[in-house]
Amino acid sequence: MTLWALEIEYDGTPFMGWQRQKHGLAIQQVIEEAAARIRGGGEVTEAISAGRTDAGVHALAMIVQIELPDFTPFRIREAMNFHLKPHPIAVLRCGLAPEGWNARFSALARSYRYVILNRPQPPTLEINRVWHMKAKLDEQAMHEAAQLLLGHHDFSSFRASACQAKSPMRTLDFCSVRREGEKVILETRARSFLHHQVRNMVGSLKMVGEGHWPKAKITDILAARSRPAAGQTAPAEGLYFTGVEYDPPLELS
C-alpha cells in the first residue's frame, strides 16, 4: 500500500464533523470505509486531515492522507468517488504523498471562508450553506475591524470553552471582509486556528457590521482574554475550509 494525498470537497450538513464519533456519521469514517473497500476489505487504516471541521462545516479543498493501492491518480480518484456514494463527499484531485509528509503537521497555513446571506428574504437554494441575516451589514466597518485581529495575539476571547489547544496564542496572517451582491464574505488564513475561532470572530464582526459595536471594540475583546467578552458563535453552516499550504506544494491531479 502507498500513502496518498487526497483533495476533497464535502457538504458538512449530514455529518457530525470530520472526526470519528461513537454516535453519528463522521467524514473520516466515510473516507476510511471507502478506502478499505478499494483495498479489498480488511483492516481500516486511519485517514488524517489538514483540519478537523465541526458538524455542519463544509470544505472546498480539504487535504487528507490515507493508504491506498499503487494505482494511477485517475483510478484512485474514480474508485474513491464511486465508493463514497451516496455521501456528499468528492475527491477532486489526488497524488502520491511526499516522503515524510503529514497532512496535518506539515501544513504551513490553513484558510477558511465564512458566508453571510445579507438580505431580508430567507435562503432557498443555499439552505445550510450560509448564515442568513436580514439587517443590512456595513462590510467596510467589518473589514476595518477585522484588521485589528491580524498578527500574534492571545485569542482566548475567541476560543471555545471546550478548546483543547495547549496555548491560546495564534498568528492571524490575513483577514478580509467584502460584499459580493447579497453576500458578505469573510476570508482568513493562519497556520492554525483555535476551536470555534473563526466562527467567534465572525460573531463579533457581525456586531460591528450591525452598528452595535465600534470597530475598536475588537481590540478590547482581545485584551479581555475572556470568551464572554466576544460576540456569539456564528452558525456552522456558513463556514468553509478553503485550502491548506505546504512547502513544497503537493503535486495533485
166 close to 85: Cβ distance less than 8 angstroms: no
Question: Which one, of 199, 192, 201, lies nearest residue 168 by Cα?
Answer: 192
Length, in residues, of the chain: 253
CB 116 within 8 A of CB 240: no
Q: Residue 107's closest CA among 250, 251, 253, 1?
A: 250
56, 13 Cβ separation under 8 angstroms? yes
Name the nearest CA neighbour of 48 among 102, 92, 94, 93. 102
Q: Catalytic residue among 11, 54, 70, 220, which?
A: 54
Q: Left (φ > 0), alpha (ψ -120 to 50) or beta: where does 173 sit?
A: alpha
Hey, which bits of 131-234 come out as E strands? Answer: 131-133, 151-154, 169-180, 183-190
154 given a catalytic annotation: no
Active site residues: 54
